[in-house]
Amino acid sequence: MKRIFIALCFSILSLACTRNAITGRNQLNLVAESDLQAMALVQYKSFLANNPVVSSSNNNAEMVRRVGQRIAASVKQYYKNKRVSNNLDNYQWEFNLVDNKDVNAWCMPGGKVVVYTGLLAVTQNETALAIVLGHEITHAVLGHGSERMSREMAAQGLGALGGIALGGSAQAVNIFNSVYGLGAQYGALLPNSRKQELEADHYGLIFAASSGYNPQMAIDFWTRMANLGNGQKPPAFMSSHPSDEERIQKIKEVMPEALRYYKTK
Ligand SMILES: [Zn+2]
């Protein structure tokens, strides 16, 4: 599979690969960011209209918004320091808590975030919530959703789609929903790759740390998440890659870097 994507990147689709401004990694990118954000907005609104959104005055909903806004501000600052603020053009952050016992959270392109109440039982505290939101927001700002969608489009032979074709394509909407685990009738969730997960852990930790949250709490949190998988259905947003051991090992490796952001705060 991997070899096919590399071949795609270096052949007829060379124009459809973009180098990520933060990670330097080449990513297959068949969907324009503006098209993706437009699609995300429609799906986000539809999701909120069809799910029980917790009142914004509720303490937990307020915490989700507070943590999310702090992480978003750190992301913005990080991108500014790297002189790539244009990568966040048109991001309009929104944070909502929905009453749902699933252990889940996601961030769509454009900054549309949802946390499920089931997740709060596992995070248990604001710092761990910051670790998760840092992770999910990183998937969005690093273009992982677009990458997953592009890979699936390539696999289904869809090729690059223009805005009009994309917006009007039920197939594209189905793929988008699979990326975010919405609309289960369309099939299985398309998981993040191991590489995407490790990138989300790495930069998510930096964003949480520069928001004033102790990144060392990530070890306890991911251990709690790993234990949750024992005998239970693993949370939808935890892919089977990397393994729990590898994830925690890699988090330990980037901890000194994250701590520098925490200490200068
Ligand atoms: Zn992830």
pLDDT digit string, tens, across residues 155-193? 877 765 554 455 557 778 888 888 887 765 444 567 788
Which residues fall within 8 angstroms of residue 147, CB to CB, at 6 or more apart?
Answer: 27, 28, 29, 196
The per-residue pLDDT for 8 is 53
Cα of 108 to ligand 1 centre, how many Å?
12
* Share of residues in the chain with pLDDT > 70 (%): 82
Cα of 191 to ligand 1 centre, how many Å?
8
The per-residue pLDDT for 164 is 43
Output 264 or 15, whichever has higher pLDDT: 264
Residue 129 has pLDDT above 90, yes or no: yes
The neighbourhood of ligand 1, an ion, using CB within 5 A, equals 192, 197, 200
User: What is the sign, positive or negative, of the torsion defined by CA atoms of 166, 171, 173, 178?
Assistant: negative
Report the mean per-residue pLDDT for the chain: 86
For the stretch 59-84, pLDDT in tens is: 999 999 999 999 999 999 999 999 99
Output 259 or 164, whichever has higher pLDDT: 259
Cα of 207 to ligand 1 centre, how many Å?
15
The per-residue pLDDT for 254 is 97
In this prediction, residue 3 has a pLDDT band, given cuts at 50, 70 and 90, of low
Cα of 51 to ligand 1 centre, how many Å?
22
Cα of 62 to ligand 1 centre, how many Å?
23
Cα of 246 to ligand 1 centre, how many Å?
14
In this prediction, residue 127 has a pLDDT band, given cuts at 50, 70 and 90, of very high
Which residues fall within 8 angstroms of residue 11, CB to CB, at 6 or more apart?
Answer: none
The per-residue pLDDT for 17 is 86
For the stretch 28-65, pLDDT in tens is: 888 888 888 999 999 999 999 999 999 999 999 999 99
Measure the CA–CA gap between 141 and 62, rounded to whole angstroms.
23
The per-residue pLDDT for 192 is 82
Label residue 231 exposed, middle or buried (CB < 10 Å: 0-12, 13-18, 19+). exposed
Q: Does residue 253 sit in helix, strand or coil?
A: helix
Cα of 136 to ligand 1 centre, how many Å?
6
Q: Is the pTM of this model over 0.85?
A: yes
For the stretch 145-160, pLDDT in tens is: 889 888 888 887 776 5
Output 147 or 231, whichever has higher pLDDT: 147
| DSSP conformation letters of 20-47 | -TTT--EEE--S-HHHHHHHHHHHHHHH
Cα of 192 to ligand 1 centre, how many Å?
6
Output 138 or 29, whichever has higher pLDDT: 138
